[in-house]
Structure 1
Amino acid sequence: MVRISVVMPTYNTAIDVLREAVDSILKQTFQDFEFIIIDDGSTNGSIDYLQNLTDKRIKLIRNPYNLGITKSLNIGFQAAQGKYIARMDSDDIALPTRLEKQFVFMEKHPDMIMCGTNVECFGAVSRKSKRRIDDMERYRINALFVHPGPSHPTAFFNHELLLRYHLAYDERIVYAQDYHLWVEISRHGQIGFLKEVLLRHRVSKDQISVKHRSEQIKGDQITQGELLQELLGFVTQEEKDFHYHYSTGYYNDTKINNEMLKWFSRLIEANDCRGVYDKKKFRRYVYDVIIKRNIYHSFEPGMSNAAKIAMFFRYMPFPLALKASLGMCARTAIHRLRVS
């Protein structure tokens, strides 16, 4: 059995970009893999490049027409023969030791269903991610409010465990299909994380456009909606929209208000009753992350620290309000030292 199946869908990827992605896999320090490339009906000539590749580890699958990335991923996973499955995007660049380090990590943690890594974004956005997963219960709580990561093209799966728990991409979801799968994985086992950067993630202008964002929201809301229904029972579309707007952190107009506090108090009360999540961790997360973030969004230009601190104590339990206030004052002091 081959040890790793690398699965990479592609659709009309520019040939020079596609070549970089392919080369980054073929030049890995870990060489015991098959490379499954799914061409999803490309019309830009990139199929000619793929058909001319001679490396015997490459298995090219051609969809009869454009099926979309979610179905293409499932096709690739079904064809995979490896002990592990590594995701790859056709416009990204895997660092040379990516497969080796993720393989070693998963061999040491046979209970892990999946692991991911940090990424370095380049192109329209330039930054390095600094994600971490230290607590699976907090991870599950986080998923109710926002995509918890890891970055999709860094995913590295235990193939046997995927099959055991019948885990696959939900084909209802065109974008953000990873969010839904990560949630399903977290119901059955552990998700590991390597903190180092092992992939360069290309970000194009199209990826950060309003159109793409609106399509991703639809996928996010399918996943969030299922989690909300598990916690609350019946949830209206209006409530799903409200929750998404105030919980994700994508919007800067989410000032603290009574309607928002009422909604998140309802979530806390429902969890206290149903015990879907650890009660103490859930309550702390809602206040220390969600409520605090929206308090920060409520600060007005020129507002004094005293007024800001008063808001913390008005809307948060005393210990968390004190912690938030001290943190804010410390950051203010450090900033003043830097500019002086």
Structure 2
Amino acid sequence: MVDSSMKKDLVSVVMSAYNSEKFISDSISSILNQTYDDWELVIINDASSDNTLEIINQFSEKDLRIKVIDNEKNIGLTISLNVGIKNSNGEFVARLDSDDLAEPSRLEKQINYLHNHPDVGLVGSGAYLINSFGNKIGFMNVMSQPDFVNKFMNNLNPFIHSSIMVRRKALDDVGSYREKFRYSQDYDLILRLSDKYKLSNIAQPLIRWRVSDNSLTMQHHTLQRIYADIAREFAIERRNYSHDSYESIEFNNLIDEMKIKNQGRYLCDRGVYDLLFNRKYKDGCAELLKGISKGGFPYNSYYRGITQIISKISVTTQRRKKQHQ
């Protein structure tokens, strides 16, 4: 049930889609089925070559809350998201990828949380992991305690991009996504938001996050790690000098430097990712051993494992407290 005492505000759900015909119907339907109904769904079709646009239009013709933006050419996720944000009207902006699903109470619980915590600029959530067939294959726990979130912020992204809801004012304050970040654009945004706002997670899984060989995370794993490292270095610059070198630095040169500097670490993390998610055991072991031989260590996987353990302990502790109340 929606909390009737809560002020009703428009939530803009922003979704970018490229050749998403296989999953986008389910993603859109998951928004249509929300318990909180004061929303608009802004979908940016990024010049898909399949039937994605036709599917989107079928939904938008039946529900006027769905707004469609059709890019003339493919401009990528980051720029498309900014286009969607500029063409949205909500006081709150939520993300959902075109192959993920929102649990029915997702918008309700997140907007209630932000109303109850006016000092929080962004809230994410945990997630069920699903495969290409939509079957649950696991959980992704997230840190919900602000102290832990802030402590680990510079080691890894403690938020699932597809789960976040952010205040419009906070987005305006930091300037939305920075378009040089082709990948890990969410981590750069989150680090900049953390300079000015408290950030938090709801431990409960409020989305279903699809994990498959075709997902962006799988296809561009190393590039995501590189861009995440760049976002991290910019955050350190801002702490030390009150600004970063985003505007002046040449990204292509910086990416090449990162590839050489951290080659062993990227190989290790890719190996662990193949082992855990792609189930490519031979390739994963080979990448992991090759990375270790180059002096690498899977730092991202290491910190991700620590956060999963801490989050699981926290959830278990909270459940036990409720049982004894």
Task: Assess same fold via TM > 0.5.
Answer: yes
Structure number with greater Rg is 1
Kindly indicate whether the alpha-carbon contact (under 8 Å) linking 1:121 and 1:127 is maintained by their aligned counterparts in 2: yes
Kindly indicate whether the alpha-carbon contact (under 8 Å) linking 1:225 and 1:240 is maintained by their aligned counterparts in 2: no
Question: Aligned residue for 2:154?
Answer: 144
- Residues 142-182 of structure 1, C-alpha deviations (whole Å, 9 max, x = no match): 23322x2210000001112222x133111111111111111
Helix, strand or coil at the partner of 1:31: coil
Matches within 5 A, 1:149-160: 149-160=158-169
**Pick from 75, 78, 83: which aligns with 2:86?**
78
From the superposition, tell whether residues 109 and 175 of structure 1 become closer, same or farther in structure 2 (CA, over 3 Å).
Answer: same
1:221 partnered with 2:241? no
From the superposition, tell whether residues 91 and 35 of structure 1 become closer, same or farther in structure 2 (CA, over 3 Å).
Answer: same
Query: Can you give the 5+ residue segments of structure 1 that lack an aligned partner in the other structure?
Result: 261-289, 295-340
Kindly indicate whether the alpha-carbon contact (under 8 Å) linking 1:167 and 1:184 is maintained by their aligned counterparts in 2: no
1:93 partnered with 2:113? no
TM-score (norm 1): 0.67
- Residues 305-331 of structure 1, C-alpha deviations (whole Å, 9 max, x = no match): xxxxxxxxxxxxxxxxxxxxxxxxxxx
What is the percent sequence identity of the aligned residues? Answer: 26
- Residues 191-219 of structure 1, C-alpha deviations (whole Å, 9 max, x = no match): 12111011111111133887411221231
- Residues 231-262 of structure 1, C-alpha deviations (whole Å, 9 max, x = no match): 7899994699349939x96665687xxx99xx
CA distance in 2, matches of 1:67, 1:198: 29
Question: Aligned residue for 1:49?
Answer: 55
Kindly indicate whether the alpha-carbon contact (under 8 Å) linking 1:112 and 1:191 is maintained by their aligned counterparts in 2: yes
- Residues 102-159 of structure 1, C-alpha deviations (whole Å, 9 max, x = no match): 11111111111100000011116922011113234x534423322x221000000111
CA distance in 2, matches of 1:10, 1:222: 26
CA-atom RMSD, angstroms? 3.5
Question: Aligned residue for 1:187?
Answer: 195
TM-score (norm 2): 0.70
**Pick from 33, 37, 40: which aligns with 1:31?**
37
Kindly indicate whether the alpha-carbon contact (under 8 Å) linking 2:30 and 2:104 is maintained by their aligned counterparts in 1: yes
Aligned length: 260
Question: Aligned residue for 2:170?
Answer: 161
From the superposition, tell whether residues 209 and 115 of structure 1 become closer, same or farther in structure 2 (CA, over 3 Å).
Answer: closer
Kindly indicate whether the alpha-carbon contact (under 8 Å) linking 2:217 and 2:224 is maintained by their aligned counterparts in 1: no
Helix, strand or coil at the partner of 2:97: coil
Question: What one-letter code is carried by the residue in structure 2 that aligns with 1:157?
Answer: V
Helix, strand or coil at the partner of 2:83: helix
Kindly indicate whether the alpha-carbon contact (under 8 Å) linking 1:6 and 1:35 is maintained by their aligned counterparts in 2: yes
Query: Can you give the 5+ residue segments of structure 2 that lack an aligned partner in the other structure?
Result: 1-7, 246-253, 273-287, 304-325
- Residues 47-103 of structure 1, C-alpha deviations (whole Å, 9 max, x = no match): 112122220101111111101000011111111211111111110111111111111
Kindly indicate whether the alpha-carbon contact (under 8 Å) linking 2:146 and 2:200 is maintained by their aligned counterparts in 1: no
